[in-house]
């Protein structure tokens, strides 16, 4: 076979260029040279394999891995290359059968050579596919790294320069939107990874897995995101301009913490009776904008606690169960426009019981209940107290050994 390899190479190249349009580039001398080099290498290695079944084909396999990587780098599929290999194999087999007939080669020998041809073809196709997959994975990994870096820039506080974000967005193939919403995810119990739309930036490796959703208020976007997040505990921050993404993720993380504590119910009901501190198994989509008043209340819990120490001091000498009943009654009274009958309906108790409790509150708080500013303060701390007690199983109660007396000393509160 060796004396005829140049002729076979010419036949193969002509047939490939005729039948595979991607390889027919008359004006591209470098490409034609690469095609000839590939064909000649394949033919020489094939003949070496026939001569010595143990011949090392690693170099030609590496060569085809490089071809596969090159095709991936150019953004092409392997279809054209695989077709060219089949065409080349067909030409090789045609020349083999012609030569075998002239030389009176036995069918057994011809069959053995044909088997080597098929094995060799399969090995080269596998090597090309392997190189192609490696290159695609590398490209995908690099793209993912760019997107994670872009998410870091958008979450930076203060934000990165707009030009830097635009450049990295272009490199990450991410169309820059006008508005975004950040999403903070709870860690799922299983290893299932949610599938997100391609325009969503995601980094599930962060301490708090996070997303950036572009144009979240666009038509159909809410349903699309809800479907993608189904079965996952997810908090969607407020919609903000692109350069304010850090603010959106800050609110989303704060809300997620309150959900995990039970202050905000995962089903969106702030008055639920979960009473559990471990919320790791929750799932559901929560939107910050539906819980803004709760977020304001818990933005600075130290401040709320200090205000509670001041305003709820008159309850400090009571037993915890008495404190709970009177605090519940006082909150309902403030929320219902100071109507005793409505308080009774809210609390499902007899109106006479409510009036008795209200007289106790008047004795304890005195003129404070007549001051609208102080009533406002009381409603704030009582709402926070109720949320902690009802949902998170936490209670802000006065310390039994301290209270605000006539001299104005400050009561000490603690949480249980």
Q: What is the pLDDT of residue 278?
A: 41
What's the Cα-to-Cα distance from 238 to each of 62, 288, 336, rounded to whole Å?
52, 6, 30
Q: What is the pLDDT of residue 30?
A: 67
pLDDT in tens, 36-92: 888 888 888 888 888 887 778 788 888 888 888 888 877 778 888 888 888 888 988
Q: Which residue has the tokens 């020998």?
A: 109
pLDDT in tens, 338-372: 888 888 998 899 989 989 999 999 999 988 888 99
Q: What is the pLDDT of residue 198?
A: 87
Q: How confident is the model at residue 200 (pLDDT cuts 50, 70, 90)?
A: very high
Is 411 a residue whose pLDDT tops 50?
A: no
DSSP 304-353: HHHHHHHHTGGGTTS-HHHHHHHHHHHHHHHHTTS-HHHHHHHHTS-HHH
> Domain-by-domain residue ranges, the chain?
2-141, 177-269+282-293, 300-394
Query: Are 62 and 127 contacting, i.e. CB atoms less than 8 angstroms apart?
Result: yes
DSSP 44-71: HHHHHHHH-TT---HHHHHHHHHHHHHH
Average pLDDT (133-146) is 80
What's the Cα-to-Cα distance from 413 to each of 315, 319, 324, 396, rounded to whole Å?
11, 14, 14, 7
Average pLDDT (311-327) is 89
Q: How confident is the model at residue 214 (pLDDT cuts 50, 70, 90)?
A: very high
Is 262 a residue whose pLDDT tops 50?
A: yes
DSSP 148-184: HHHHHHHH-SSPPPHHHHHHHHHHTT-PPPSEEEEEE
Tell me which CATH code domain 2-141 carries.
1.10.490
Q: What is the largest CA-CA distance in the chain?
A: 122
Q: How confident is the model at residue 410 (pLDDT cuts 50, 70, 90)?
A: very low
Burial tier of 413 (Cβ tally within 10 Å: 0-12, 13-18, 19+): buried
Is 241 a residue whose pLDDT tops 90?
A: yes
DSSP state of 356: H
Query: Are 211 and 167 contacting, i.e. CB atoms less than 8 angstroms apart?
Result: no
DSSP 97-138: HHHHHHHT--HHHHHHHHHHHHHHHHHHHHHHHHHHHHHHHH
Q: What is the pLDDT of residue 152?
A: 92
Average pLDDT (136-151) is 83
Q: How confident is the model at residue 393 (pLDDT cuts 50, 70, 90)?
A: low
| Both structure tokens of 153 | 């820039």
Class of domain 300-394: mainly alpha
pLDDT in tens, 161-197: 999 999 999 988 899 999 999 999 987 655 566 778 8
In angstroms, the CA 88 to CA 41 distance is 13
Q: What is the pLDDT of residue 399?
A: 52
Average pLDDT, the chain: 82
- Whole-structure pTM value: 0.59
Query: Are 297 and 379 contacting, i.e. CB atoms less than 8 angstroms apart?
Result: no
């Amino acid at each position: 076979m060796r004396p005829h390899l140049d002729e076979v190479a010419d036949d193969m190249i002509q047939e490939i260029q005729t039948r595979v349009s991607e390889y027919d580039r008359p004006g591209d001398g470098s490409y034609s040279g690469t095609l000839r080099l590939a064909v000649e290498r394949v033919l020489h290695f094939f003949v070496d394999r026939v001569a010595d079944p143990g011949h090392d084909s690693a170099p030609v396999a590496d060569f085809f891995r490089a071809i596969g990587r090159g095709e991936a780098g150019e953004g092409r599929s392997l279809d054209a290359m695989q077709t060219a290999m089949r065409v080349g194999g067909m030409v090789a087999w045609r020349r083999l059968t012609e030569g075998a007939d002239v030389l009176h080669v036995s069918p057994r020998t011809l069959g053995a050579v044909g088997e080597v041809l098929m094995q060799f073809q399969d090995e080269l196709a596998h090597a090309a596919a392997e190189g192609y997959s490696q290159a695609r994975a590398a490209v995908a990994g690099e793209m993912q790294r760019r997107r994670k870096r872009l998410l870091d820039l958008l979450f930076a506080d203060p934000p990165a320069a707009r030009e830097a974000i635009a450049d990295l967005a272009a490199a990450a193939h991410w169309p820059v939107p006008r508005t975004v919403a950040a999403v903070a995810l709870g860690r799922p119990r299983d290893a299932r990874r949610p599938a997100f739309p391609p325009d969503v930036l995601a980094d599930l490796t962060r301490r708090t897995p996070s997303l950036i959703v572009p144009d979240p208020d666009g038509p159909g976007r809410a349903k699309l995101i809800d479907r993608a997040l189904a079965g996952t505990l997810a908090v969607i921050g407020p919609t903000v301009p692109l350069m304010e993404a850090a603010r959106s993720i800050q609110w989303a993380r704060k809300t997620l913490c309150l959900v995990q504590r039970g202050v905000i119910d995962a089903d969106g009901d702030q008055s639920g009776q979960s009473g559990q501190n471990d919320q790791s198994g929750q799932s559901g989509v929560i939107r910050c904008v539906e819980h803004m008043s709760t977020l304001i209340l818990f933005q600075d819990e130290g401040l709320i606690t200090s205000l509670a120490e001041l305003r709820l001091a008159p309850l400090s000498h009571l037993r915890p169960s008495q404190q709970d009943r009177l605090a519940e009654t006082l909150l309902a009274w403030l929320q219902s426009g100071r109507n005793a009958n409505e308080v009774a309906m809210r609390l499902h108790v007899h109106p006479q019981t409510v009036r008795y409790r209200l007289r106790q509150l008047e004795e304890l708080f005195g003129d404070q209940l007549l001051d609208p500013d102080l009533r406002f303060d009381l409603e704030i701390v009582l709402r926070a107290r109720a949320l902690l007690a009802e949902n998170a199983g936490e209670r802000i109660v006065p310390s039994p050994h301290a209270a605000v007396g006539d001299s104005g000393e400050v009561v000490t509160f603690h949480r249980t």
